[in-house]
Every structure is written in C-alpha cells, then in structure tokens.
Structure 1
Amino acid sequence: MQAPTRTARTAGVLFLLTFVSAITGAALYAPLLTDPDYIIGPGADTRILLGAVCELVLIITNIGTAVVLFPVLRHHSETAAVGYFAARIVECTFIAVGILSILAVVTLRQTAGPDAAEYLPVARALVAVHGWTFLLGPGFVVGIGNGLLLAFLMYRSHLVPRPMALLGLIGGPLMSMSGVAVLFGAYGQSSIPSALATLPEIIWEASLGIYLTVVGFRRPRDAETTGTGAQESRAPRS
C-alpha cells in the first residue's frame, strides 16, 4: 500500500512545527525559569504568556503528528501505533501541567501585591513542577513514543530509510535512560551528558520532519532498489 504523499507532508510539517514551538516557548519562558525571585521583580508577563501560547501550539502539533500518522502506521503494527498515539497524549498531558504551573506563577506576581515575598516558596515550587513535567514528558516519554515506537514502525514499514529509523531506535531508549539518570541525580538536566544522550533523538526527529516534508513516504520500489525490499521484490506480480 502506497501511503498518500499529502499525509507524509502534513506529518513532516507538524514535526517541524513541534521543534519551532518548543524552542520558542522555552526561550520565552527564560526570565521566569531563571529568576528565583520573579514574582517580586518587574516581570515579563507578556513574554511568558506568549511562551504558554507556543506550548499550546506544541500540544496541538504533537497530537497532530499522532492523528495524521495513525491510519498509515496501524497497517504495520496496530499495537505499536496505538502505543505511539498514547505516548503523545501522555507527553502532552505533562506539557499542559507545566503550562498551568507557569501561568500560576504569573498570576501570583500579578495579584500578590506588597505581600509577594511571602509567596516566593510557592512560586519556586511551581517552577519546580514545570521542571519535573519537562523531564518526565519531553525528557522521558518522548524517548519511548517518538523514539522507540515511532522508529520501530518506520523501520518495519520502510516508509523512511532504515538507517534514519535506526537512529531513533537507539536515540529513544538512550534519551529515556538519561531522563531516569537525571531523576536520580546522576547529572543535571542541562548538563553535557544529558545533552549528548538526547542528541540522537533530536537528530532523528528533525531528520524525520525534514524527510517527510521534502521527500514524503518511500514507495515500495524505492526499498527494493536499496536492498531493503527484497521480500517485496520476490513476491509474485499479477
């Protein structure tokens, strides 16, 4: 079965939008996440709210990738396809909780008034909640969903070059294991070991988005000519 080109291109664009919205949202959040005394300072509330909008876009595009790809992927392994869809939902749930924690800090800054200093422990706790949601969602669940499950489906289906999918099969579990290491304090979430562990997954997702947008899904004869479709080439032709 040849997957529609439109589906591939739509999924590719959605993957690229997840990168843009995630990076932009993190950059916009920076004043709040890096300033432990944010609620008693001048604030940058408009910037933070724009960051929340970016993360809402991230949720939409994350779920969009699963919705668009599911009809195609289910033909190759319905169990893995459902697992990928579920992983996207869980990831987005963590992201939504993180958004709420950030918006709560903004509300504290705007309403606390002269007693704002008394709420500093609450604000810092809410920022910590955001940090944990980032670790457990984009830092752990993504390795299972976008990494292991999606790469397995792409590897099995030949819809993208197998070496590309293999990068996801390696990078996904590595990213999830790194998340567990951070959870137990082996190293920091923004440390060099963490960055190195997540790099293969980032390359896999970026290359997938670019490939689907520019090339689309591979056709069966493409797999045959590269030697990965030997089984298809041996099949009787009508």
Structure 2
Amino acid sequence: MLYLAGMVVGIGGNILIQSILTAPDGLSSIAASSMLLAVGAVCWLATVAGDAAHGILMFPVLKHHSERSAVGYLTARVVDATFIAVMALLILIQIPLGAAYLNAGTADTSSLQVLSTVFNQANLYAYEFAMITVGVAGLILCTVFLRTGLIPRPLAL
C-alpha cells in the first residue's frame, strides 16, 4: 500500500510540476503558479519518505533470507530517495528564478532563462538516476523473491 500511495502522490505532483515547467513562457508561468509548483515538489518529497520507508520496512523481511540483499535493497531505496529529493530541490529553485524574471522587467532576462533550462535538465538527470536505482532495487527484491519463494515464482519473474 505504501508503494502504491507513493506512486499516486508522485504522479499527482508530477502532473502539477510538468504543467507549469513545460508552459510556453516557463519563467512567467513559474512566477504565476509558484504555490502549485511548491505543492508538486512537496508531493515528490512525500514520495521520498515512502521510498525510504519501503526500504526500511522490507529490511527485516529480506534480512531473514539474505543480509546482503537486504542491505542492497535498503541502500538502493535510500539512493533513490536521495535523487528524488535532489529533484524536488531543483524544482523549488525555479521559484526564485521566476520571481527574478518578473522583477527584471525590460532588462536582459536571457541568463535567467538559461539557468531555468539548466535546472530543468539537471532535474531530468536526477529523475533518470533515481529510476535506475529503482530498477536495481526491483532486481534485488525480485531475485530474493525468486530464490526464497516468498511470492509465487511466476509473479517473482
């Protein structure tokens, strides 16, 4: 249930975030919708708590069968949570950029747009690294399930 709740909250947060960050005039949209962007980032931070908790809750179950796998799974989930937390921070950094963009007026705002683009790209990289670690965690978990028979073999595969 914790895993599914984390996915639902994360998807909801992602919908909010992407609707703002992918708008045609991104920095103006960020400034106008900074509260929604912050709510989306907080949703991702809630997902962080769920990811870490999933690793912690599975630790005693996996340790009973393989201590190395238990530590590996916990580590992968914590690394995943760390990358998602970094991703949320990269999203939150966009809020002051949007405010500076609006306050800049007629001044050259190209540097703010470049910074926003760099943070968006870094956000994407953080997400990709998080998903790689989720994949590693999944492989560890399914391997333990397959070896121990904790769940039916076809489901573990």
| TM > 0.5 | yes
Please report how far the alpha carbon of residue 47 of structure 1 lies from its aligned counterpart in structure 2 after TM superposition. Answer: 1.3
Distance 2:37 2:93 in 1: 11
> Paired residue for 1:144?
136
> Paired residue for 1:55?
44
The structure with more radius of gyration: 1
SS of residue paired to 2:109: helix
Look up the equivalent residue of 1:160 and give its one-letter code: I
Given that residues 95 and 133 in structure 1 are in contact (C-alpha distance below 8 angstroms), is that contact kept between their aligned partners in structure 2? yes
Alignment TM-score, normalising by the size of structure 1: 0.60
> Paired residue for 1:204?
none
Percent of pairs with identical residues = 34
Given that residues 29 and 48 in structure 1 are in contact (C-alpha distance below 8 angstroms), is that contact kept between their aligned partners in structure 2? yes
Look up the equivalent residue of 2:40 and give its one-letter code: G
Partner residue of 2:118 out of 116, 125, 145: 125
Distance 2:27 2:67 in 1: 48
Distance 1:66 1:116 in 2: 47
Given that residues 72 and 140 in structure 2 are in contact (C-alpha distance below 8 angstroms), is that contact kept between their aligned partners in structure 1? yes
Distance 1:69 1:83 in 2: 11
Distance 2:46 2:85 in 1: 11
SS of residue paired to 2:143: helix
Distance 2:32 2:147 in 1: 50
Distance 1:142 1:46 in 2: 29
CA displacement 1:13-55 (0-9 Å, x = unmatched):
1111121122111111112331363113463212111111111
Change (3 A) 1:104 1:27: same
Look up the equivalent residue of 1:141 and give its one-letter code: T
Look up the equivalent residue of 1:17 and give its one-letter code: A
Alignment TM-score, normalising by the size of structure 2: 0.89
1:28 partnered with 2:16: yes
1:6-45 pair list within 5 angstroms: 13-35=1-23, 37-41=25-29, 43-45=32-34
1:150-189 pair list within 5 angstroms: 150-166=141-157
Please report how far the alpha carbon of residue 61 of structure 1 lies from its aligned counterpart in structure 2 after TM superposition. Answer: 0.5
Distance 1:125 1:43 in 2: 20
SS of residue paired to 1:91: helix
Distance 1:35 1:163 in 2: 43
The gaps in structure 2 that reach 5 residues or longer are: none
1:110 partnered with 2:99: yes
Look up the equivalent residue of 1:106 and give its one-letter code: I
Distance 1:60 1:14 in 2: 10
> Paired residue for 2:86?
97
Number of equivalenced pairs: 152
